[in-house]
Structure 1
Amino acid sequence: MSETYHLPVLLKSSINALVIDPGGTYVDATFGGGGHSEEILSRLNEHGRLYAFDQDIDALENARDDDRLKLVHGNFRYLKYFLKYMGIGQLQGILADLGVSSYQLDAKTKGFSFVDSDVFDMRMNNRAARTALDIVNHESEENLVNIFSSYGQVRNSKTLAKAIIATREQRPISNTHEFLNCVEPQAMGNRARYLAQVFQAIRIKVNDEIGALQDFLVAGADMLVPGGRLVVLTYHSIEDRIVKHFMKSGRTEDAENPLLSLNDQWILKPVNKKPILPDEREIKSNKRARSAKLRIAEKISIA
């Protein structure tokens, strides 16, 4: 485990929520620094198995040598495909810690942060085709408005989109600094909060985070045994709303893909009526925990 890569949030609460069977099969859908995986492994016996996913190849370097642990370099949206390929039929529990790791936020070459970033990239998987620069330089004004309003809840998304178009008409935006020079004059209210919303919106678009989350929720829940637990940590209202809705209904909100909205085999039952939040002590020791919400659901078969 690497605490310098990412300090796990609500560690004990999230692992306790899995109600681990020592001989069961589990998934850590977002390996990161390996903190959650290490805690899961500590509760498994020699027959237990853990499959850990991460699309960032750098994260997999944090793994320890353990025969019970299988690492998968891939997006968690393809969880079912990878597990079926490896001969895994059902799972006792799945954990996902959504969002960006501390390492990704702090790495200058990743471009996730508006503070001290060199390259405006934002790809969680460096093999992905589109970068943040591609988005701001090539998306239409209408698409930019939709990205900033839908994924960042930016209030003046139209004004911001027009400013980006005007800037790139002079010359293409080539780095984080140039993008900030374009965005900062448009900032409303608290500067840091505004920039965080803008950068969040672009990151979500670059990595198709909403689509990936919806795919993951359906595939993951489908692979759980009856009584299996789905445990998810969210960090902003957009993803939290999706997870909350799914755990209550077993359905996603994706109107464009009806296959994701149809389910007559099982339902999910929320375990906690309200999300579990980090206490003041944890927030003080890890400021990135302040927006975390832990949601838990149990699968119930109705077939």
Structure 2
Amino acid sequence: MKHISVMLEETIALLNVKPDGIYVDATLGAGGHSYEICKQLTTGRLIGFDKDFDAIERTKKRLAEFGDTVTYVQGSYTQLTEKLDELGITEVDGVLFDLGVSSPQFDDPERGFSYRFDARLDMRMDQTQALSAYEVVNNYSEEDLIRILKEHSEERYAHAIVKHILRRRPVTTTFELVECIKAAYPAKELKKGHPAKKTFQALRIEVNNEFAEAKDAVDQAVNLIKVGGRVVVITFHSIEDRIVKTIFNNYGKPAKVNPRIPVVQEEILHYKLISKGTKASKWELEDNNRAHSAILRGIERVV
């Protein structure tokens, strides 16, 4: 299956790539966005981050024609400031985030991300970390399992799903987990799409600490860009989008004040919002199902 990068044209346009600039792709994935950035660079440089060793190796092949223009960092995007400092870089012209799991990870049965394939429960983006979906499903308490299903994916049948998981433990494979979920769903709900979607999403977010890491990394990125630089983020989850929107608004919108109290000095903003929630075009939605939940946001440093 060919990987299609979500909102590729809109994202690259928003990033406003300068030929001599330094850019960070904080989520290399399959390298689609990175390839388009590199095409516009002459003396510039791209630093690509990914937790996933397989993603790094795959993208090295895709970007081989650009040679030393690209530097690869296997690690979490929460290490942005640290790793760039090691490379002697203190500010950049742009940072791109394409949050969530990449299509190749979903499409690899052995990674255990998808309810479409039978595999051992895993869902680790970084395969060297200890915590996997197996440990979460089989070792978390009833209260914690219910909490993550509700908080991470707003699963309305969280209590029933967890009761079926507890009865079946150990739950070893993706299909065994799907059976627990189906058993918990009312028959009429099973006709409305795959019932495992929200549970798998919640487990993946928990395993990879996605919300907390995204918040940390996007905040770092905003502080790394130079004047004229931009941070561009694609999200696929309403809670994740809310996190990004809040961070951007904190930097790019004036603080709310009581209109009855006179302002002594007008607040000087160092950033401006350049996209307040763009969605994929109807033409892209026809060809790329993954784009349906995508939201694109951006911020630029102006002072």
TM bin (shorter chain):
0.7 to 0.9
C-alpha separation in 2, matches of 1:25 and 1:139: 43
Aligned pairs for 1:26-105 (under 5 A) are: 26-45=23-42, 47-61=43-57, 62-63=59-60, 64-65=63-64, 66-105=67-106
C-alpha separation in 1, matches of 2:268 and 2:50: 29
Letter in 2 for 1:208: N
Q: In the TM superposition, what whole-angstrom CA distance separates every residue of 1:166-211 from its partner, at most 9, and x where no partner exists?
A: 222xxx1111121112111112535535311110000000000011
> Structure 1 236/155 Cα, relative in aligned 2: closer, same or farther at 3 Å?
same
> Structure 1 265/223 Cα, relative in aligned 2: closer, same or farther at 3 Å?
farther
The answer on 1:22 being equivalent to 2:19 is yes
The partner residue of 2:180 within 175, 179, 182 is: 182
1:35 positional shift:
1.0
Letter in 1 for 2:274: V
The TM-score, its normalising length taken from structure 1, stands at 0.88
Aligned pairs for 1:110-259 (under 5 A) are: 110-168=111-169, 172-187=170-185, 189-190=189-190, 192-250=193-251
**Greater mean deviation of Cα atoms: 77-86 or 196-205:** 77-86
Unaligned runs of 5+ in 2: 253-266
C-alpha separation in 1, matches of 2:182 and 2:13: 43
Report the counterpart of residue 292 of structure 2 in structure 1. 290
Conserved? CA contact 1:248–1:268, under 8 Å:
no
Conserved? CA contact 1:107–1:117, under 8 Å:
no
C-alpha separation in 2, matches of 1:121 and 1:31: 21
The answer on 1:270 being equivalent to 2:268 is no
SS in 2 for 1:93: strand
Conserved? CA contact 2:164–2:183, under 8 Å:
no
Unaligned runs of 5+ in 1: 252-263
Letter in 1 for 2:76: N
C-alpha separation in 1, matches of 2:9 and 2:194: 30
C-alpha separation in 1, matches of 2:301 and 2:183: 49
SS in 2 for 1:8: coil
Report the counterpart of residue 258 of structure 2 in structure 1. none
The TM-score, its normalising length taken from structure 2, stands at 0.88
- Overall identity of the aligned pairs, in %: 37
Conserved? CA contact 1:105–1:113, under 8 Å:
yes
C-alpha separation in 2, matches of 1:131 and 1:221: 30
Q: In the TM superposition, what whole-angstrom CA distance separates every residue of 1:71-126 from its partner, at most 9, and x where no partner exists?
A: 11111111111111111110111111111111111111011110113121000110
SS in 2 for 1:121: coil
1:151 positional shift:
0.3
Conserved? CA contact 2:99–2:234, under 8 Å:
yes
Which has the larger helix fraction? 2
C-alpha separation in 2, matches of 1:117 and 1:159: 22
Q: In the TM superposition, what whole-angstrom CA distance separates every residue of 1:4-59 from its partner, at most 9, and x where no partner exists?
A: 3x3211111101101112111000111111111111011111x2010011111111
Letter in 2 for 1:165: L
C-alpha separation in 2, matches of 1:30 and 1:203: 16
Q: In the TM superposition, what whole-angstrom CA distance separates every residue of 1:206-236 from its partner, at most 9, and x where no partner exists?
A: 0000111011011111111123111000111
Larger Rg: 2
**Greater mean deviation of Cα atoms: 32-41 or 279-288:** 279-288
Conserved? CA contact 1:187–1:195, under 8 Å:
no
Count of aligned pairs? 281
**Greater mean deviation of Cα atoms: 23-32 or 183-192:** 183-192
C-alpha separation in 1, matches of 2:270 and 2:156: 36
